[in-house]
Structure 1
Amino acid sequence: MSQALALSYDNQRESRKALPLALAMGLSVVLLLLQTLSAAARGAPESFADLAEKISPAVVNITTTTTVARNAAPRGVVPEGSPFEDFFREFQDRNNGGNDGNRNRPRRSSALGSGFVISEDGFVVTNNHVIEGADEIMIEFFEGGELVAKVIGTDPKTDIALLKVEAEAPLAFVNFGDSDISRVGDWVMAMGNPLGQGFSVSAGIVSARNRALSGSYDDYLQTDAAINRGNSGGPLFNMDGEVVGVNTAILSPNGGSIGIGFSMASNVVVKVVDQLKEFGETRRGWLGVRIQDVTEDVAEAIGLEKVAGALVTDVPEGPSAEAGIEAGDVILSFDGKDVTDTRSLVRTVGNTEVGKAVRVVVFRDGKTQTLKVTLGRREEAENAVPASAPKEPEVPEKTDLLGMTVSAITDELREQLDLADSATGLVVQDVLETSKAYEKGLRAGDVITEAGQQKLSDVADLNKQIDAAREAGRKSLLLLVRRSGDPRFVALSLE
């Protein structure tokens, strides 16, 4: 018994020793499994090497050469007549060859960028700013060799250019992917010619989508993949080797990558490239209205339940005027698509075929209307003439209200403000700095042409609209204000 008991105790002691070891081993297995599952969920590649090897032959370096005229004098260096003028002139002469003939001789300037081949017959995509003004464009291929490129077409609005090279054999090329399905956090890889160092690869993720910088048609993917000068025009790839963006810009205080780069989304680029290939230029739809976003106070002032759509501020001669769209209308739907804001409307219209008849749903006087508009071409209408307005009032009036001093338009004011003979409304002559009107940005010299979506001829008209808004229980009154000819709506508080 004592022997068996001792053996039992020994077994228990060994079991107690083995238990922590088993738990530790089990915990290690669980952690390893969790790490594996986590990596699979992130889709983190073990290496980008296979992908880089596959798509590199379609990525190109671009070198441009431009003729630049030399200055005949050291302008901008020292003031004319300065005692140092002769010194700087001699210094410039030495740099330019030592004589007047060489100083005035044009010089050649080179620039570097990136691009990528999109077809075996030699179409190449890059940024417009890479090749703009170039006299000669040279394409250098990853696998060696150079070819001269010609410009097929450019689109400064999206900063895209389409080039063409003539090669003896079919070229390696890459396809565009669907940027709309790219998600924040997806892995991406950038390729190009950063800082003139030659072919280079960097990787990162999609940091944000639908970024806008300065253009009407901007739709950028933001990425932390390193993008530097020279990467412009190069491709941003997804993990399937498809181009989801064209590297265009960086946000940087020092000119180098700090992890904030912008690539024009491929779904924008594809439409531009298709038009450049077919027409040598872009052909965007044109609705013919000037618009602004709908804000909460604007929506309340006009009785619109939802803050959405695009508020029409002006209707020049063109498709919308012919279809009956008016200033003050809120465009809620265009060609069957809901309009969330001005940016979405501009992009949707621009992507619609020129000459197409579309249905436009507008909110007017508390209800919706459907109008049919035949689109014009934006490129032919950049300098459209503003719509004319009713005749000016004959009897000038002046009064203080809503924190402003306003008066009817007189001949003197018309001349001072450079107003058209047909301009009507009320001129803001002064604004109290403590008033709501001042907070909303109204200033002396502004012209109020409408109130409550009704045209103004005199001060009495404005008072009438103020009373009507208050009787309807409105907290604000919608004003259409023009400054230097540019219209905008302002919802001014009545309290």
Structure 2
Amino acid sequence: MKNIKYYSLICFFIIFSCVPFNISATEDDELKFESVIERTKKSVVILSMNPNVDPETDPSKTGLCSGVVIDDIGHVLTNFHCVHNQNYIRLYYHDIDDWQIYEVNVIGLDPLGDLALIKVIGKEEPIPYLKFAKDTEKIKEGMDVFALGHPMGMVWTVTKGIISSTERYARHPFIKAIQTDSAINKGNSGGPLMNMKGEIVGINAL
């Protein structure tokens, strides 16, 4: 009987001591994720496009996309379909407490990969940028990811999910795409899909 009581007492203390540890770990993860979101927000920009040189000619044709800054001199990745045949493209960058508007140059286009590289004009100060995930072998099904963008003009919308597949060929039989269950809506196009460190693992396309 003494042995049974002693064993029960040990189990009680093990369980009791583990519960606070699990709770604090969860809180730490949440705080860490919040800080990652806050750090990455300034690198995710809004693009406003219109096929007319003067968007006031037909405002109904103005569209919105997202983009992600990838270096400190203002190169931005977005989708090809966001800038294709658009004669008016403006980039909105959040600087300190307000949105600043900049013109851009289209540097390169990849229609099959649905990618476009543009560069901000007239921004002299370094721009916070995001890095690409280095170890692509770790990008696997079930990996936690999140999308950050401006769907339907709702700035800095965060949606979290997992990588559903790394073997999708949506646009071309030789171009591999990543599938995610993170919610992607109109306006998310061109924004980053990131791992929990805030590194780019893909560019969202809809």
TM-score range, shorter chain: 0.7 to 0.9
> Contact 2:113–2:171 at 8 Å: present in 1 too?
no
CA distance in 1, matches of 2:19, 2:179: 33
Residue 209 of structure 1 deviates from its aligned partner by: 0.9
Report how far residue 17 of structure 1 moved.
11
Match for 2:58 among 89, 107, 129?
A: 107
Deviations 1:452-485 (A, max 9, x none): xxxxxxxxxxxxxxxxxxxxxxxxxxxxxxxxxx
Cα distance in structure 2, aligned partners of 1:168 and 1:52: 25
Tell me what 2:100 maps to.
145
Which segments of 5 or more consecutive residues in structure 1 lack a partner in the other structure? 1-11, 69-105, 250-495
Q: 2:9 aligns with which of 3, 17, 22?
A: 22
Aligned residue for 2:155, secondary structure, equals: coil
Cα offset, 1:61, TM superposition: 0.9
Q: Which one-letter code corresponds to 2:173 in the other structure?
A: S
Give the distance between the partners of 2:105 and 2:174, measured in 1 at CA. Answer: 25
Residue 218 of structure 1 aligns to a residue whose secondary structure is coil
- Greater relative CO (CA pairs within 8 A, separation 6+): 2
Residue 490 of structure 1 is matched in structure 2 by none
Does structure 1 residue 170 correspond to structure 2 residue 136?
no
Inter-CA distance 221–45: structure 2 relative to 1 (3 Å threshold): farther
Question: Which consecutive segments of 4 or more residues in structure 1 shift more than 2 A?
Answer: 15-24, 26-33, 44-47, 178-181
Look at both structures and tell me which one has the larger radius of gyration over its CA atoms: 1
Matched residue SS, 2:109:
strand
Structure 1 residues 64-463: aligned runs within 5 Å: 64-67=49-52, 107-108=58-59, 109-143=61-95, 144-166=99-121, 167-178=123-134, 179-249=136-206
Distance 2:63 2:137 in 1: 32
Cα distance in 1, alignment partners of residues 7 and 138 from structure 2: 48
- For residues 161 and 29 of structure 2, the distance between their equivalents in structure 1, rounded to whole angstroms, comes to 11
Cα gap change, 1:27 to 1:180, in 2 (>3 Å): closer
Structure 1 residue identity aligned to 2:116: A
Aligned mates of 2:197, 2:62 — CA distance in 1: 34
Alpha-carbon shift at residue 149 of structure 1 (Å): 1.2
Supply the distance in 1 between the matched residues of 2:190 and 2:108 (Cα, whole angstroms).
15
Equivalents in 2 of 1:214, 1:124: separation in Å? Answer: 22
CA distance in 2, matches of 1:222, 1:30: 40
- Paired residue secondary structure (1:45): helix
How far off is 1:136 after superposition?
1.0
How much does 1:20 deviate?
Answer: 8.9
Q: Is this contact kept in 2: 1:157–1:216, CA < 8 A?
A: no
Q: Secondary structure at the match of 1:129?
A: helix
Residue 32 of structure 1: how far off its partner (Å) = 3.7
For 2:70, the aligned partner's letter is I
Residues 1:55 and 2:40 are matched in the alignment = yes
User: How far is the alpha carbon of 1:27 from its aligned partner?
Assistant: 5.9
Specify the SS of the correspondent of 2:29.
coil
Aligned length: 192
Which moves more between the two structures, 59-68 or 204-213? 59-68
Distance 1:217 1:118 in 2: 25
Q: Taking structure 2 as the reference length, what is the TM-score of the superposition?
A: 0.81
Compute the displacement of 1:165 (Å).
0.9
Instruction: Tell me, yes or no, if the aligned pair for 1:157 and 1:217 is still in contact at 8 Å.
Output: no
Aligned identity (percent) is 32
Q: Does 1:45 align with 2:29?
A: yes
Counterpart AA for 1:184: E
CA distance in structure 1 between the partners assigned to 2:4 and 2:144 by the alignment? 46
Shift in Å at residue 153 of structure 1? 1.9
Report the Cα offset of residue 112 of structure 1: 0.5
Query: What are the ranges of 5 or more consecutive residues in structure 2 without an aligned counterpart?
Result: none
**Cα offset for 1:21?**
6.5
- How many Å separate the matches in 2 of 1:190 and 1:119? 19
- Counterpart residue identity of residue 25, structure 1: F
Q: Which residue of 2 aligns with 1:391?
A: none
2 CA distance for matches of 1:156 and 1:240? 29
Query: In 1, Cα distance between the equivalents of 2:109 and 2:137?
Result: 23
- Give the counterpart letter for 1:154 in structure 2: L
